[in-house]
Structure 1
Amino acid sequence: MKIAIIVPMEIEAEYYRKYFHSGSTEMFGSTQFEHFCVNGNEIYIGLSGIGKVQAAMNLASLLSSVDIDLIFMTGTAGSLQQTVHKGDLVLASSFAYHDAHNTLAGDYVEGQIPGEPAVFELDSPARNEFISFLNEEEVSYQEGLVVTGDSFIGSDEQKDEIKRNFANALGVEMEGAAFAQVAYHFAKPLIALRAISDNGNDNANEDFDQFAKKVGAKAAKLICAYLDKVK
């Protein structure tokens, strides 16, 4: 299998670089991907950059050049629910754009871009296999909708506005829906595992980098353990 692992920030990629040893580097578009072999699988690890355009551009560049079988997206997210806490793992079942407001342009719902699905569902056999792995390992995680926008959410006011339109969303981040949209058009399975780094409120920027590194490694460790078993 050819497997892509995409993370937005360098601090979220550190664990992978420590885990995988000796690999080559290749450029796809404007992004450098590290290329490893694990159990006969080819692994491509790259930084997407932050935000929707960077995410879509860099994943599309890879998929246009390499016939990837499975995409893993990891990194961090802010919580949108009182039941989702710092350090928790969220396995996205779907993504939507919280900053797409096109209801006045036609028969669209909040979060929908004209011509695109209202929500990008991630259901796939590959994702179900990963869920089985998490359950076998007795990993604690929550599963549900995650929403995406181009702004760092760092206030209760921002958080409350998002929840008015997406009351059930578990988390908020800046790349996931763009990844999901690209994966949808390339017909590639996407598994998105986010670790909660903050509560998406007025305290969201406190020690973000340090905590993001810690929880990012938590998600990365699980994915690496899974890849050790995939043949």
Structure 2
Amino acid sequence: MKIKRIGILGAMPEEINGIVLLLENKQEIVKGMRTYYIGTINEIEVVVVFSRWGKVASATTVTHLIVEFNITQLYFIGVAGAISQELNIGDIVIANSLVQHDMDARPIMRQFEIPLLSKTFLYPPSKIYKDAYSSIKELETSGQFLDVISIQNQEKFLISNPRVFVGQVASGDKFFSNTSDKNLLLNLLPDVLCVEMEGAAVAQVCFEYDIPFVVIRTISDAANETSPVDFKEFIVEVALKYGIEIIRKLIK
């Protein structure tokens, strides 16, 4: 019987810094330009690491977690740009499907289809993302997300009522920073809620190795011309604090 060992990926180094502080019996292992933090949270073994940016880097990192550290499931937290007009900065999206929006091997196969897998969308096991939704929804209803953000930062980032959504996440090696690109993506993939640069690649690796996973994203921007504004400050003042609360809630 495999020992339960949870991998935790962060899309930004600042995000994992907070989670590392939760570790007991912490050890550090450096491999492949990455620092893996090993320890326990609530007596459960975990390995925490910064994924590095983009599909290749994140796929490499999660493969290492699976092969070298023998994780049995994965939580991937990070930030994303809103595509759906329903989303506001500070909302949370839990992926129930993921797609690589820059995968295009036409005319050999359909746009977005992953070569050799004959799949366009990848899905986390329903139990893990539904359990994650239930736990994170409790943080929303209790007002805990707002509790960890200062009034000043709530006002600065226009966060008044953070909500938890479940839906489709699109990944690709592109930072969305203009409205035309955003609208083009919506025309092609109308169900996408948000975009980021790693989740669908991580999902592909987990699918191929049969590792349960869930991708959880905090909306940091509107994926338009305002996207770069105060991005780093948002990570430190909002996403990092969300991440700590989410991991505390999930690992118990």
Asked whether the two chains share a fold, i.e. TM above 0.5, the reply is yes
Partner of 1:167: 190
Partner of 1:40: 43
Contact 2:135 2:250 in 1 (8 A): no
**Cα distance, 1:133 vs. partner?**
2.0
Partner of 2:224: 201
**Cα distance, 1:158 vs. partner?**
1.4
Q: Structure 2 unaligned segments of length 5 or more: list them.
A: 142-162
2:54 to 51, 54, 64: 51
1:122 to 121, 124, 136: 124
Amino acid at match of 2:184: E
Partner of 2:200: 177
**1:226–1:28 CA distance, 2 compared to 1 (3 A):** farther
**Cα distance, 1:103 vs. partner?**
3.5
Q: What SS is found at the alignment partner of 2:107? A: helix
- Per-residue CA deviations over 1:75-113 (Å, capped at 9, x if unaligned) read 10000011111110011111101111224113x2x3222
CA distance, structure 2, for counterparts of residue 205 and residue 137 of structure 1: 27
Contact 2:54 2:172 in 1 (8 A): yes
Partner of 1:79: 82
2:176 to 153, 161, 170: 153
Amino acid at match of 1:132: S
CA distance, structure 2, for counterparts of residue 144 and residue 124 of structure 1: 12
Q: Structure 1 unaligned segments of length 5 or more: list them.
A: none
CA distance, structure 2, for counterparts of residue 5 and residue 125 of structure 1: 18
**How do 1:11-22 residues align onto structure 2 when only pairs under 5 Å count?**
11-22=14-25
Of stretches 118-127 and 216-225 in structure 1, the one that deviates more from structure 2 is 216-225
Percent sequence identity over matched residues?
Answer: 27
Q: What SS is found at the alignment partner of 1:200? A: coil
Q: What SS is found at the alignment partner of 1:96? A: strand
- Per-residue CA deviations over 1:145-164 (Å, capped at 9, x if unaligned) read 00001011111121112111
Contact 1:28 1:61 in 2 (8 A): no
Q: Give the count of matched residue pairs.
A: 227
Normalised by the length of structure 1, the TM-score is 0.91
Question: What's the RMSD between the two structures over aligned residues?
Answer: 1.8
CA distance, structure 2, for counterparts of residue 50 and residue 135 of structure 1: 28
Q: What SS is found at the alignment partner of 1:104? A: coil
Q: What SS is found at the alignment partner of 1:53? A: helix
Contact 2:92 2:216 in 1 (8 A): yes
Amino acid at match of 2:80: A
Partner of 1:23: 26
Contact 1:124 1:189 in 2 (8 A): no
Amino acid at match of 2:55: K
